A = this chain, B = another copy of it.
Amino acid sequence: MPRFLLTLAYDGTDFSGWQLQARDRTVQGVIETALTEIMGSPVRLHGAGRTDAGVHALGQTAHFDCQDIRASIPWQCALNARLPEDVRVLACRRVADDFHARYQAQAKTYEYTLWHTREFCLPQRRRFAWNCGPLDFTAMEAAARLLTGEHDFASFQNTGTPVRSTIRTVTAISRHPGPTPHESVWRFTANGFLKQMVRNLVGCLAACGRGRLAPDEAGRILLAADRALAPATAPPQGLTLISVAYPDQTLDLTEGLL
């Protein structure tokens, strides 16, 4: 059966995360409903990964299989016409029949937005930033250097689905200007992320930025491979899945979007 890969953007605020649930509204759920309506038979959507409740995306990817007689449907338009406004299909492309959105992902990039200059976050930005208060970027960047590279990230993994290995390679952590002068954006790229790993890394960087943790301590927490030692998980609303990279093509269709 023809297989298609979707590139998706969503505002995660009003979703109970990516993964299908019996009762709650999820991104996978609303897209599977739309696909099933158009296809006329049940369709399963396979995401590159699960995003938590409240986490956003500008370049999530997911594949589905299509009946031969439906292969010519303009899926992007058809889906956007049926989907709620808080999720959009940015692209739809035919991929190989054995392509897998999750297993073939080579790298993912996330961004986390911190609000850091006032006591209160602007209402217009409250769904997309974590209000941290003033931050020492130098301390955060020193900690970020210690967390970059191939490491056992067990200290930054929340309990949940067991994984074979907690070793991952974080290829880059970098700071960028935010959409307002009161925000900074922290970009994380890795060959894969453990459960809530970005939010746990941000929790650690923010603790350094607030002077509650010395940057060297971030390195020691990493080496200890013990979640109990690391600072609390950062809240979901600052996080956005930016892109998922695949061997043949880099599906970063969101470049410069936000």
A-to-B contact residues, CB < 8 Å: 9-11, 56, 58, 77, 80, 85-88, 119-126, 128, 179-182, 256-258
CB distance from A135 to the nearest CB of B (A): 18
Name the residue among A9, A11, A58, A120 with the largest chain B CB count within 10 angstroms.
Answer: A120
B9 touches A122 (CB 8 A): yes
User: Can you add 14 more A-B contacts, CB < 8 Å, to A11-B123, A182-B257?
Assistant: A10-B123, A11-B126, A58-B124, A80-B120, A86-B126, A87-B123, A88-B120, A88-B122, A122-B258, A124-B128, A124-B258, A125-B258, A179-B179, A179-B258
Q: Count this chain's copies in the assembly.
A: 2
| Chain B residue contacts of A88, Cβ below 8 A | 120-123
Complex: A179 Cα to B183 Cα, angstroms: 13
Can you name 5 A-B residue pairings with CB atoms under 8 Å?
A10-B123, A85-B121, A86-B123, A86-B126, A124-B128
| Chain B residue contacts of A121, Cβ below 8 A | 85, 88
B86, B119, B258: the one contacting A180 at CB < 8 Å is B258
Complex: A122 Cα to B256 Cα, angstroms: 12
Complex: A167 Cα to B180 Cα, angstroms: 36
User: With A80-B120, A88-B120, A120-B80 in contact, do A256 and B181 touch (Cβ < 8 Å)?
Assistant: yes
| Chain B residue contacts of A10, Cβ below 8 A | 123
| Chain B residue contacts of A85, Cβ below 8 A | 121, 123, 126
Complex: A258 Cα to B258 Cα, angstroms: 13
| Chain B residue contacts of A86, Cβ below 8 A | 123, 126
CB distance from A59 to the nearest CB of B (A): 11
Name the residue among A77, A86, A181, A258 with the largest chain B CB count within 10 angstroms.
Answer: A258
B9, B56, B77, B123: the one contacting A9 at CB < 8 Å is B123
Complex: A30 Cα to B258 Cα, angstroms: 31
Complex: A9 Cα to B124 Cα, angstroms: 8
Complex: A77 Cα to B120 Cα, angstroms: 9
